[in-house]
Amino acid sequence: MWEKKPVLFLLLATAAILVGTIITMVLPFAWVNTEGDRIATVTPYTPLQQAGRDVYIREGCNNCHTQTVRPLVADVLRYGEYSKSGEFVYDRPHLWGSRRTGPDLARLGGKYPDAWHYQHMAAPVSMIPKSNMPAYAFLKDNQLDPGYIRKCMDVLGFPYTEAEISALNGKTEMDAMVAYMQKLGTGIPKAAAAAVIGDLKNPFPKDATAIRAGEQLFAQNCAACHGEHGDGGIGPELEPESYQDAELFQMIYSGITDNGMPAFSALGSTKVWQLVNYVNYRKEH
């Protein structure tokens, strides 16, 4: 019936499309980033952090890394609290992305110490052996231009002080990139990892199979910071008889906020116990 009245059909189809567009696109854009949507702990980028963000975009990092944790169980378990719209009020443009050739970076800030990031950016495979990320060592040779960064801050309307601009003298693009990495996700307080592992009793005391498995896990997850033989590097040397099994488990499972050691709860309690047994094995030998 309607198809016999093309003008009326066109008007009705147009009206339906407009209603859908308004509801699904126009209204959400009007609602998001309003005062009620903002999060008090989310602050604008500093000049150094904004310079790092510009380098991040220039080098195409957003082509491989997303910056949004979806409200899915798998995402939250791996990356942390799901993303909130208020976290992105100062992101111009936003870098949510959809491809994860590399891991999501939305909660990266504070996960590793600065030294880890400097080494990882310069030589990714030295920290993550199977990484296919290219090296960005050249960033340390590129000096920042304080005058240009000041203009960027003015255009974006972000607050800054003259001291912050002056502090950019002598800084490199590598410094800026690391500062930006350490900013990501810090507007949302991190929830402490909950170790639900009963009475923390070692299930594999001096078990040879667990020790061998722990050695492989150590090489994959720990050697980049603590050294191949636990003799230190970015992280401290693993000194003999420093911790009891339960205490060591808790440190590996939940991480250590004070020195930037990340939590390895994603490995699961079994693998963490294997790591504990390997560390104890190397202490005794």
Residue 122: inside a domain = yes
Determine the pLDDT at residue 197: 43
23 and 51 both lie in a single domain: no
Q: Is residue 123 part of a domain?
A: yes
156 and 232 co-located in one domain: no
Cα separations in angstroms, 200 against 4, 209, 278:
75, 20, 17
In this prediction, residue 144 carries a pLDDT of 98
Same-domain status, 54 and 172: yes
Cα separation, 278 vs 272, in Å, equals: 10
State whether 51 and 179 are in the same domain.
Answer: yes
Name the residue range of residue 271's domain.
208-284
How far is 126 from 61, CA to CA, in rounded Å? 19
Domain co-membership, 160 together with 52: yes
State the Cα–Cα distance between residues 264 and 78, nearest whole angstrom. Answer: 10
Could you give the CA distance from residue 55 to residue 145 in angstroms, rounded to a whole number? Answer: 12
Q: What is the pTM of this model?
A: 0.71
In this prediction, residue 240 carries a pLDDT of 58
> 113 and 178 share a domain?
yes
Say if residue 8 is in the same domain as residue 75.
no
pLDDT of the residue at 34: 58
144 and 51 Cβ atoms separated by less than 8 Å: yes
Distance CA 242, CA 280 (A): 10
Is 56 a member of any domain?
yes
The answer to whether position 201 is within a domain reads no
The domain total for the chain is: 3
- Are residues 104 and 176 located together in one domain of the fold? yes
Question: Per DSSP, what are the bridge partners of residue 201?
Answer: none
Residue 197 lies inside a defined structural domain of this protein: no
Would you state the pLDDT for residue 18?
92
Distance of CA 112 to the CA centre of its chain: 9
Q: Which residues of the chain have pLDDT under 50?
A: 192-198
Residue 242 sits in the same domain as residue 167: no
Indicate whether 87 belongs to any domain: yes
What is the C-alpha to C-alpha distance for residues 262 and 24, in angstroms, rounded to an integer? 39
- CATH number of the domain at 235, please: 1.10.760.10
User: Are 66 and 168 in a shared domain?
Assistant: yes
40-63 pLDDT, tens digit per residue, is: 899 999 999 999 999 999 999 999
| Residue 195: per-residue pLDDT | 44
177 part of a folded domain? yes
In a domain, residue 55? The reply is yes
Whether 212 and 255 share a structural domain: yes
Query: Which residue has tokens 């702990």?
Result: 41
Determine the Cα–Cα distance for residues 226 and 124; give it in Å rounded to an integer.
Answer: 16
Tell whether 118 and 215 lie within a shared domain: no
